[in-house]
Amino acid sequence: MTNRLDGRKDKMSDEQQYPGPEEQGPESQEHPGLTPKMDLRPDHGEDSYEGHGKLTGRRALITGGDSGIGRAVALAYAREGADVAVSYLESEETDGRETCALVEKAGRKALALPGDIRDEQHCNELVERTVAELGGLDILVNNAAYQMSQSSIADITTEQFDRVMKTNVYAMFWLCKAALPHLSEGATIINTTSIQAYQPSPELLDYATTKAAILNFTRGLAQELAPKGIRVNAVAPGPIWTPLIPATMPPEKVDQFGADTPLGRAGQPAELAPAFVFLASSDSSYITGERIGITGGKPLP
């Protein structure tokens, strides 16, 4: 049976469908992390997401679209009828190409855009190429992020702080600014914030800071663009199982990742994609400046 609201097949209960911490193990790999190297592969909705034409004819640009949440969103958007431009680091080429293949398998056009969004010119080029090759831009998803766990503020170098800020905040600002001239009434911007914006972990101090900034940026920009009919919203994930986790956290933390949620496990990217579809579609036409929390039961204010 298909759940009409979220596009996923309700084949079994979540407890049966998704693994708990005991199945994750103490994984570890070098940053940025690649999906094929994960012992436990995330679910992006490959076998479960069913589209209903909610984004037919739309053009989307997704940063961090190579894996994890970004891949799940790209797959869902394609199955809903959108063409998708996928932005990712050159070192993530394998994952990026796999995401593009999923988009094309859904019968939509995929545009691979490798490069580093810490560069303002590259951000401008992402928008320009998307508009030129997809024929326009209707949905901008600022999803790419960098984090690296540190035991103390004393261990956060200026280099790391700068990388976190430029990847998570500067790039979002640059991309929104570049995209605005191409967005018309009915267009949407969706930013990925985090539970870290509300409940910052000390070992992710710099990352949490950027996620709070993203939340306020979303609320402020939404007010500016509302008169133009452009909506701006955010999704706030809790612990989600993606390559970023074993690539940026100590193995002992990875081993218990998500265990402290009321649902007792990490979420899967496939469980977030429906929220991004909702915010991009006309189903959310009266929603702007808001955030949807997907946290496994951890309360958000």
Per-residue pLDDT tens digits for 111-131: 999 999 999 999 999 999 999
Would you name the residues annotated as active-site residues? 207
**Whole-angstrom Cα distance, residue 272 to residue 120?**
28
Q: Torsion angle of alpha carbons 29, 84, 10, 190, nearest 10°?
A: 80
Yes or no: say if 191 and 145 are a contact pair by the CB < 8 Å rule. Answer: no
| pLDDT of amino acid 7 | 56
* Amino acid letter for position 13: S
Whether the per-residue pLDDT at 271 is higher than 90: the answer is: yes
State the pLDDT at residue 38.
Answer: 79
**How confident is the model over 55-84, as a mean pLDDT?**
98
Q: What pLDDT was estimated at residue 24?
A: 63
Q: Could you identify the residue written with the tokens 């401008």? A: 124
Average pLDDT score over residue span 234-260: 88
Higher pLDDT, 93 or 248: 93
Global confidence as pTM? 0.92
Query: In this predicted model, what pLDDT tens digit does every residue of 196-242 receive, in sequence order?
Result: 999 999 999 999 999 999 999 999 999 999 999 999 999 999 999 98
The CA-based angle 141-143-144, given to 5 degrees, is: 130
- In tens, the pLDDT along 7-56 reads 555 444 444 478 777 666 667 767 777 887 777 889 999 999 999 999 99
- Please give the pLDDT value at position 246: 86
Cα 47 to the chain's mean position, in Å? Answer: 19
Domains defined for the chain, CATH in brackets: 53-294 (3.40.50.720)
Confidence (pLDDT) at 4:
32
Question: Which tokens belong to 40?
Answer: 């436990």
Omega cis (within 30) before 269: no
What DSSP string runs through 57-70? T-EEEEETTTSHHH
Res. 77: pLDDT tops 80: yes
Do the beta carbons of residue 50 and residue 76 sit within 8 Å? Answer: no
The per-residue pLDDT for 249 is 79
Question: pLDDT category, 5, cuts 50, 70, 90?
Answer: very low
Mean pLDDT of 55-80: 98
144-178 pLDDT, tens digit per residue, is 999 999 999 999 999 999 999 999 999 999 999 99
Residue 37's identity, in one-letter code, is K
DSSP of 197-261 = GTS--GGGHHHHHHHHHHHHHHHHHHHHHGGGT-EEEEEEE-SB-STHHHHHS-HHHHHTTTTTS
